[in-house]
Structure 1
Amino acid sequence: MSDEFVGSETLLQMDPTVVAGLTWGLKRSFLGYLARTPMSQVSLGSGAGVTTQSEFWFPLADASQFDVQRGDGVLKFSGNVRFIGHGGFLHVLLDRPWIEVTADSALLSFTECRTEDPTDQRMGVASLTWPTPQDDQGDWIWPEVPTALASAGVELFNDVYPVGEALEPIRLRIPQ
């Protein structure tokens, strides 16, 4: 996996609201904390990008298991964002996000890569309040999906934020 340091050279040159993918600002206070922490790093890999508003963008990988009419299924995205601070004691990897929607819940998960042998085991990081999509120029969009920290996400952020803590909303665009 090759990573690039997030800087002006990795800013998205396109508007993420018109390209298929997931855009997420994560948690502003967490990003602010990292910005104030000496020698912290944020890196992107596998096609992920960052917007001019410091939101992370993950390209759409597969929407074939999602049924927009029923409002359920799985949306898969590619790319990763890695946050490192305190000489590596703080290490958060958000890799290959999925959104899994059922009749009862919606969850944003990431591949759990904590060992040298990563699997497709998923970690549910945020619960979503799933709205009805809007039709926008032949694409389905979700302009603002509220998110809250799920129980597995608490561990990911070293127990700093409690279950249910509001996170930044996500934005989605998928082709019809």
Structure 2
Amino acid sequence: MYASLTWAVKESLHTYIREVGGAVIPLQPAQVETGTATFPCEAAESNAGRTILKFMGGIRFIAHQGLLDVTVREPWLDISYSQNSFTISVTGNGVQSSDSGDRITIGRGELPSHFAASGESSDIEVLLTAEGATIFRYYPSGIRLAPLQLQRPPK
């Protein structure tokens, strides 16, 4: 099992928020350091070549007295080993909690070739989906989000 997911979401968003005097707010138990959020792993479910890693907490980007207000909460990484791919879904702006089943798939991508065999994480590229573009109104579908990393717990 993984201990955490580290993800900046979108580096240029962090930069912009900082430049206009906005705030990047961690939603517990996630932590934000130097523009990157770390989400602790809550649970993992595996069956038939598929694993869902469920992470806790969130990150909120806010600026311009709330005119820019984007929240990414409770990221889940849905890994399909047979397709060598993944999606990342969240609850966030206008999306209810994961208890209601309302999740938006904001990103997708291919796993690095070494991932399935080793489970080790380097930078895993993420592309914004059309659904995700509804949360990140300022970015078009298909744009690269920040790469993500998975950390295993220390032995």
TM-score, normalised to structure 2, is: 0.83
- Which residue is 1:50 aligned to? 32
TM-score by length of 1: 0.74
Task: Answer whether contact 1:145 1:171 (CA < 8 A) is retained.
Answer: yes
Q: Structure 1 residues 113, 34: closer, same or farther in 2, change over 3 A?
A: closer
SS at match of 1:143: coil
Residue 111 of structure 2 is aligned to residue 130 of structure 1: yes
Gap regions ≥5 residues in structure 2 = none
Alignment correspondent of 2:23: 41
Q: Which amino acid aligns with 1:31?
A: H
CA gap of 1:163–1:113, structure 2 versus 1, over 3 A, is closer
The corresponding residue for 2:64 is 86
Structure with greater helix share of residues:
2
Runs of 4+ in 1 over 6 A off after TM superposition: none
Give the drift of 1:20. 1.2
Once residues 8 and 90 of structure 2 are traced to their aligned partners in structure 1, the CA distance between those partners, rounded to angstroms, is 15
8 Å Cα contact 2:10/2:146 also seen in 1: yes
How far 1:85 moved relative to its partner?
1.1
Between the aligned residues of both structures, percent identity stands at: 28
Match of 1:154 in 2: 133
Deviation at 1:113, TM superposition (A): 5.1
Is the Cα contact below 8 Å between 2:70 and 2:93 reproduced in 1?
Answer: no
When the two chains are superposed, the root-mean-square deviation of aligned CA atoms in Å is: 2.4
* Cα deviations by residue, 1:49-91 (Å, 9 ceiling, x for unpaired): 123x42110001112x136x93x22110001111111111111
1:25-36 aligned at under 5 Å gives the runs 25-36=8-19
- What does residue 114 of structure 1 align with? 94
